[in-house]
Each structure stands twice: as C-alpha cells, then as structure tokens.
Structure 1
Amino acid sequence: MILIVCTASTIDSYEKSTSYVENGFTNSLKNTKESIREFNSIPGIQQYQAFAGINAGYGFFAPNVASSYILKVSIYDKNKNLVKESYFPPFKSKEGLNRYHTLLGYFQDRLTILENKLQKKKSTQFNESDKYGEFLDIFIKSIGRYYYKEYNPENYNVSCTLYLHHHPLMEEIKTANKNKPVLIKLLDIDAKPLKKN
C-alpha cells in the first residue's frame, strides 16, 4: 500500500516540476496515476489509507529541499514611507499559524500559472487557470486588509508581496558553493479596500 502511495505522489510531484515534458513515457505515467486513482476509489481502500496514515505522500524524501512561499506585508504612510513590515499576521494560536503555512503551500499553483503565462502555454486544468490565480490572490488581499483594522486606509496603504523562498539545489551547493536560500519576488498586490459608494 505504501508503494502505491509513493508511486502516485512521485508522479504528481514530477508533473508539477519544471523538468516535466510531455512524451510517451509521461503519458504512461499519467495512465499509471489514473489506475492508482481508480484503485483508491474502491470502497474501504481510501479509508484504510487515511486511518493507517499512509496517504500523506512521500515526495519529501527527494534529495532537494522543496521551496516554500513567504508573504511580506508592508505598510506605508501617505508619503510612501515604510511604517511596518510583517511576515506573519499576528496569530493568537499555533493552529492559526499552521493553517497559514498550509495556505501558502497552495501558491505552488500560482507559480505554475505565472510560468504558463511567461511561456504562453495554455492549460485546461482549473488549478492552472487565471481564474484560480485570481482566487488565490483574494487570500493575499484578505490577509493584507486585516492590517487596515489598525491602519486607517485614508492615511495608510498596505502592500503584499509574495516571494518564493528558494533553497539551493544539492548540485549548486557542491559546484557553485551556494548554500544560502534566496527570495524570488513573484507578485505584488495592493490590499486597499474598494471605496463604498
């Protein structure tokens, strides 16, 4: 059972990687993943995997550390002077912080949408569509708008910047002696609320 979950999660990770290219081999991988999905839909199988804790996926055993996403919230006054910068909303519980980190994981799809735009590639999948990108951006705006409880929108402007916190690949560490992660800016979003008429 663990082998089945590992196979599905490995194929899924490969499909989302930048080295993915459609060809006969990758088509057979898609067929394998579809067969696994059908197997998992048999009554009792999915429940057993969840109960036994083996359906979590095992992509994290790859040799390279996965990149993560960081959201920076910047507050500016009327003269565009930086008043405050924050990387975490002021959560009152550890559960809130954990949910926030889970939410940031969804922005892997936002990166895919940006890559598709740059490559002028069209996708039929909803999670790679502009609509889904707009949906994810609403999360960012709502986080930024939280700060307007403390900072009046008449006098302040809240800007949200999404970064990819990219760790160097193992090969880069060995050959180029790069051992520090870098922040790659993906997008800036103005969180200013719409004026009510």
Structure 2
Amino acid sequence: MNRSKITLKERLFLFFTAIHLILIILVCINSSINAYNLVFNENVKNPPLTKITDAIKLVLRIPLTQQYSVMAGIDAGYGFFAPNVASGYVLQFSIKDTSNTVIRQVYLPKLKTNEGLIRYNTLLGAFQARFKALDDERKKIGKSKNKVASNKSLYTRYLDVVIKSIGRNIWLSNNDYSKDQKMSATLYLYEFPNLKESLMGDYKPELINILTLEVNKK
C-alpha cells in the first residue's frame, strides 16, 4: 500500500502555519485579558490571569517572535481580523464674555498642513487614558468618606496641560478676543447610536461631557 509522503516544503509550510496561528491565539488571549481588566476595573492583580499574561509575554519576547508578529500584523490583537474601533473624542473650546455667555465655540486650532490635522486627530485618541483615569478618580471619591478628590497621575496632569496649551494657542492666535473674555475647554466622548437605535432610524450621535477645564490666557 502506497502512502503519500509529505515533502520538506510541505512540512515547513505546516510548521510556520501552526506557529502563526499559535501567535494569533496568544495575542488575542492577552488582548482579551487586558480588555477585561480595563472594562471591569480589575486593578488588583488576579493571580491566575497574571500568570497567563506573564507566560504569553515571555513567549512573545522570544528572539525574532516579536519582530515577526509586528511584520505580520499579529500584534494588533483582534485588529488582525478587522480594524479596531476606537472611541471618538471631541475637544470644544468656548469663549465667554464678562456675563459668562458663550459667544463663540472653536473645535480646532489653526493648523497649516494636513499633517498637522492628522497629528491633532491622533492626539485626541490619547484622551482614552484620560477618560479611564477620570472614571477611576470618581470611583475613589465615591468610596471616600470626606469626598476629597484623589491625586491625579502624572499622565493625567500631562493631558490636562495639553488641553490648556491648545486653548492658549487658540486664544493667542486670534486678536479678536479681549482680555475680559474667558475660555473653557470641554472634552466630549463621541458616542454613536447602537444597532437598535440605528434600526429605528435614529442615526444622530451623542456628545457625552467628560471633562471641563478653565483655560487661562497666561
């Protein structure tokens, strides 16, 4: 009885296919655990999950493995199968008169190039971390008896400085604004309608107020 022999080329193909699939599964498991910790606010390390993620990181740090996962797009997690859908954020700057009435609203600083616009949109994506930090601060305040705000992290304070710096740039680049006027910056989460609302014909997105900061001219 003749048995078909697997050639060396076919063996190598099966070997690299298996390695490729294993890397995809490991990265997706790691992404799922990280997403679970983010959504359910599991800041305290869960020993079983920590052991799994640590083991996966050791595998992914094997020489040439990390480079291959980047080139093959495996490191994107579930983004390997489809682009990851990120939350959208809108930064609104409101100019107010002496009676605290909004007289103008600005959404973009004066950008001279398309590259600047792309970088600005990329910067807005960094506020996902600010949203998570703000949610953590509110939970800590809710658990605190004296209702005193917790100390902000260094990265949170950095993002607040970025918002105020953009506001100052808008203020100083326009000569129409008087010294008596005020400016506030509001960070909105751009929430799209869910599937049920879309089927009912409600396509209008909603802006959720996340954070409001006062911007000083100096």
1:68 is matched with which residue?
88
**Whole-angstrom distance in 2 between the partners of 1:86 and 1:53:** 38
2:30 is matched with which residue?
8
Instruction: Give 1:86 shift.
Output: 1.9
Match of 1:43 among 63, 79, 84: 63
1:137 partnered with 2:141: no
Q: How does 1:151-190 map to 2 (within 5 A)?
A: 151=175, 152=177, 154-170=179-195, 173=197, 179-190=203-214
Instruction: Normalising by structure 2, report the TM-score.
Output: 0.68
Q: Which moved more, 1:104-113 or 1:43-52?
A: 43-52
Contact 1:75 1:158 in 2 (8 A): yes
**Whole-angstrom distance in 2 between the partners of 1:80 and 1:93:** 34
**Whole-angstrom distance in 2 between the partners of 1:178 and 1:61:** 29
Counterpart residue identity of residue 58, structure 1: Y
Question: Which structure would you say has the larger Rg?
Answer: 2
Instruction: Give 1:174 shift.
Output: 8.1
Instruction: Give 1:66 shift.
Output: 4.5
1:85 is matched with which residue?
105
2:3 is matched with which residue?
none
Instruction: Give 1:175 shift.
Output: 9.7
1:125 is matched with which residue?
none
Contact 1:161 1:186 in 2 (8 A): yes
The structure showing larger relative contact order (alpha-carbon pairs under 8 Å, at least 6 residues apart) is 1
Instruction: Give 1:160 shift.
Output: 0.7
**Whole-angstrom distance in 2 between the partners of 1:177 and 1:193:** 44
2:53 is matched with which residue?
33
Identity %: 38
Contact 1:6 1:59 in 2 (8 A): no
**Whole-angstrom distance in 1 between the partners of 2:87 and 2:99:** 35
- Match of 1:130, SS state, is coil
1:96 partnered with 2:119: no
Instruction: Give 1:182 shift.
Output: 1.4
**Whole-angstrom distance in 2 between the partners of 1:77 and 1:28:** 57
Question: How many residues are matched?
Answer: 185
**RMSD of the TM alignment (CA)?**
3.4
Contact 2:36 2:42 in 1 (8 A): no
Against the structure 1 CA distance between its residues 156 and 98, is the aligned structure 2 distance closer, same or farther, given a 3 Å change threshold?
Answer: same
- Match of 1:75, SS state, is strand
